[in-house]
Amino acid sequence: MKIKFLILIAVALLGSACSVNKLISDADASFSRKEFFDAAEKFRLANQKVKDKTIKSALYFKLAESYRQSGDYTKAAVWYRNAIRSGYKDPTLEVRYADALRGAGKPEEAKLVYEAELKKDPKNTPAINGMESIRRIQEWKDTPELYIVENLKTINSAANDIAVQINPESDKSIFIKSSGEEVPNKKINPVTGQKFADFFQSGYDTVKKRWTLPELLKEPGFLNSNEEELFLNFSSSKELFVFSRSVSVAGQQATSQMLFVQKKNGQWTSPAPLPFTADEANYHQPMITENGKTLWFASDRPGGFGGFDIWKSEINETGIFSEPINAGAEINTPGDELYPFEKPNGYFYFSSDFHPGIGGFDIFQAQKSGGKWQIEQLSPPVNSPADDLSIQFFGNLEKGFFTSNRKGSHGTDIYSFFLPPKLFQCFGKIHDSETDSILPDVNIRIVGSDGSSQKIRSVNGRFQASLNPESDYAIVVFANGYLNAQAKVSTRGLREAKEFEIDIKPIPTNKPIRIDNINYELGKWDLLPQAKTSLDKLVELLKLNPEAIIEISAHTDDIGNEQFNLELSEKRAASVVQYLREKGIQDKNLKARGYGESMPLKTNTKLARQYEFLKEGDVIDSGTIEKLGSNNLKELARGLNRRTEFKVIQSVAGK
């Protein structure tokens, strides 16, 4: 009887072990299919039944990974901590724990972990990025918030809601993706644990001043299906739209497909896959630029830098999509880059979980400069310790929508944001660069990176203009008898009102202009580093005046052989011209001439003010120099003769 009882216990234990192994196997399969909600539930149940500490340790880590992938950083941090305490070994474990703590709003605890990891390996890139994120969090705590952010409670459901696109036909209408209870006849998504999402539309009630309850998007009729709808984007003409949906097959990982539809003769064509998506990769989050010429999207297709990358495809006049091009290493990283968006003015936005930020996914702005993307993180409260995604703008304005699962959200929620009006004023004075005399009435053009353009005229050498927030400005002066002159100011990132005071000093075209800091070693003509800095300013001036033709002239003092001095000056002028060519100034705009010691300097107003021993109109020839008496003054005067100048030979009158 006792033997029989032991056999029954053994069978029960074996059955229990088989049951647990089956549950873990199922959980692993769900995780490999990226069904993170299901995986977390299965790993949690398995953990309750397992007694073996080694197996439990691995389950802790898998639970943490499942919650992290689901965007639940609080639960992820708990299970990463359990995995560490149980002795689980994984080279990424501690940094992932710190990332989860940071995403859960615990930066001080995260900092301690990052510091410990950097002591082990000072080159640990994820830990370095994490410490940079902590620095930014601490910095922004003491910085006034730039944007006003509001949770759109009338739009958001108890489930996940994502801002998809502002309706190109009306800025009082927005398309969203939702997994709320309003979604009809949908199964539960094993990735999120919520219903498969559909597309909805909400309008702005101008009387009640709020967004209306979302309604299921019914046109085109094929848009919402039984699958998970991911993203849609209509072109500005609404003649083309691209959308993505997740297609699932039992027992396999769901894949996201991207399809396009065109309107022909007033009717939508049938959805067709983008021609370059005939592989097994995932394609989603399409965005068609305002001019209709470029399609941005996110994909894990081969040839990227990490997980999901940002890609673009050009759209020609007949609606043909080109083979995609990766957005490049400035934007894409070993992590995931998602939700591309481009403003009409060319500013580009995306979300990333690898660029140094303050949370899980953060929203970044990119701007092309010198052929490269310059990346900048948007400041809080747009970004938070949680996941911040899918930013949408009203044209070039600093207002729109984004999506976040930050504290206070139900799942992921849609938030509105706008930059409150601030007063930015520019006060300017315009002087002759050589005499400092006021230029009384000249034309001025002020061009902003936000697409704005102002034409004004100065009064008695002064002008005033209002500037918009978050914009870079070029202020260009056009005056007859002068080269066009420019000043630059920026209101980007300014959290308080500001007055800019600028002096613009156009260069006259009727006299030679000395180029400062053009010095050479004795008897040589090679440009020194400080000379190149001054010449770069001349390059900028010439690019602002592309029709101007100038003569570069070099002069020496009267010490030494006259013929040697002439040849030396010719070589020095040629060195300057060669540098300007290398910086992109065309040959037709440049002439070089050396004058040796034949043209002593004539003192102008500026030099007479600068040097007490000189009078305006003095010619600093050998006779003048000898009368100075002091050897120091004589050498100073000869130094003034050793100069490089430019003179405008031909220019275009101010516009």
* Arithmetic mean of pLDDT, 33-57: 86
Q: Answer for the pair 159, 180: CB distance below 8 angstroms, yes or no.
A: yes
- Considering the domain boundaries, does residue 5 fall inside one? no
Return the minimum-mean-pLDDT range out of 232-236, 322-326, 328-332, 626-630.
626-630
What is the torsional sign of CA 388, 389, 393, 396?
positive
Is pLDDT at 401 greater than 90 in this prediction? Answer: yes
Q: State which amino acid sits at residue 199.
A: F
- Please, where are the H alpha helices in 287-338? none
The pLDDT score that the predictor gives to residue 230 is 92
Token pair recorded at residue 133:
């994120």
Is pLDDT at 336 greater than 70 in this prediction? Answer: yes
C-alpha span between 178 and 159 (Å, rounded): 7
| Region of residue 581 (left: phi > 0; alpha: psi -120 to 50; beta: else) | alpha
Q: What is the mean pLDDT of the chain?
A: 87
* Arithmetic mean of pLDDT, 628-636: 85
* Shared-domain flag, residues 91 and 157: no
* Arithmetic mean of pLDDT, 237-242: 88
* Shared-domain flag, residues 517 and 638: yes
The pLDDT score that the predictor gives to residue 8 is 45
**179 vs 338: which has the higher pLDDT:** 338
The pLDDT score that the predictor gives to residue 412 is 92
pLDDT band, residue 14 (cuts 50/70/90): very low
| Angle between helical axes of 73-85 and 93-103 (0-180°, round to 10) | 150
C-alpha span between 496 and 422 (Å, rounded): 7
CATH number of the domain enclosing 221: 2.120.10
The pLDDT score that the predictor gives to residue 333 is 94
Please write down the HEC assignment for all residues of 495-561. Answer: CCCEEEEEEECCCECCCCEECCCCCCCCCCCCCCHHHHHHHHHHHHHHHHCCCCEEEEEEECCCCCC
Distances (CA, A) of 522 to 2, 517, 556, 559, 565: 110, 15, 11, 11, 11
Residue finishing a domain among 395, 418, 441: 418
* Arithmetic mean of pLDDT, 636-650: 88
- Considering the domain boundaries, does residue 6 fall inside one? no
The pLDDT score that the predictor gives to residue 141 is 74
Cis peptide before 381 (omega within 30 of 0): yes
Token pair recorded at residue 277:
């998506």
Nearest to 295, CA basis, from 360, 244, 365: 244
- Considering the domain boundaries, does residue 450 fall inside one? yes
Element (H, E) at 244: strand 240-247
Is pLDDT at 5 greater than 60 in this prediction? Answer: no
- Considering the domain boundaries, does residue 167 fall inside one? yes
* Shared-domain flag, residues 105 and 169: no
The pLDDT score that the predictor gives to residue 2 is 54
Is pLDDT at 350 greater than 90 in this prediction? Answer: yes
Residue finishing a domain among 475, 504, 533: 504
The SS3 of residue 153 is coil
- Considering the domain boundaries, does residue 3 fall inside one? no
pLDDT above 70 covers what percent of the chain?
A: 96
Distances (CA, A) of 413 to 151, 272, 336, 404, 522: 7, 31, 21, 6, 70
Q: Return the residue matching tokens 């992932």.
A: 96
Write the pLDDT tens digit of every residue in 182-199: 777 678 888 888 888 899
pLDDT band, residue 3 (cuts 50/70/90): low
CATH number of the domain enclosing 24: 1.25.40.10
Q: Return the residue matching tokens 């088989």.
A: 18
Distances (CA, A) of 488 to 428, 448, 472, 474: 12, 10, 7, 5
* Shared-domain flag, residues 134 and 192: no
* Shared-domain flag, residues 554 and 587: yes
- Considering the domain boundaries, does residue 559 fall inside one? yes
C-alpha span between 574 and 580 (Å, rounded): 10
The pLDDT score that the predictor gives to residue 513 is 87
**Could you say which DSSP state residue 183 is in?**
S
* Shared-domain flag, residues 202 and 292: yes
Domain span at residue 587?
513-650
- Considering the domain boundaries, does residue 125 fall inside one? yes
Is pLDDT at 651 greater than 90 in this prediction? Answer: no
* Shared-domain flag, residues 396 and 500: no
Query: Do strands 348-352 and 362-369 pair parallel, antiparallel, or not at all (unpaired)?
Result: antiparallel
* Shared-domain flag, residues 292 and 156: yes
Backbone angles phi, psi at 213, to 5 degrees: -60, 135
The pLDDT score that the predictor gives to residue 13 is 44
* Shared-domain flag, residues 261 and 326: yes
Q: What is the Cα gyration radius of the chain?
A: 34
Is pLDDT at 4 greater than 80 in this prediction? Answer: no
C-alpha span between 196 and 225 (Å, rounded): 9
* Shared-domain flag, residues 491 and 525: no
Total domain count for the chain? 4
pLDDT band, residue 69 (cuts 50/70/90): confident
Q: Answer for the pair 248, 263: CB distance below 8 angstroms, yes or no.
A: no
**419 vs 64: which has the higher pLDDT:** 64
CATH number of the domain enclosing 437: 2.60.40.1120
Is pLDDT at 171 greater than 50 in this prediction? Answer: yes
Q: Answer for the pair 569, 554: CB distance below 8 angstroms, yes or no.
A: yes
* Arithmetic mean of pLDDT, 156-169: 91
The pLDDT score that the predictor gives to residue 7 is 47
The pLDDT score that the predictor gives to residue 17 is 54
Write the pLDDT tens digit of every residue in 257-295: 999 998 888 888 889 999 998 888 999 999 999 999 999
Q: Answer for the pair 489, 473: CB distance below 8 angstroms, yes or no.
A: yes
* Shared-domain flag, residues 485 and 457: yes
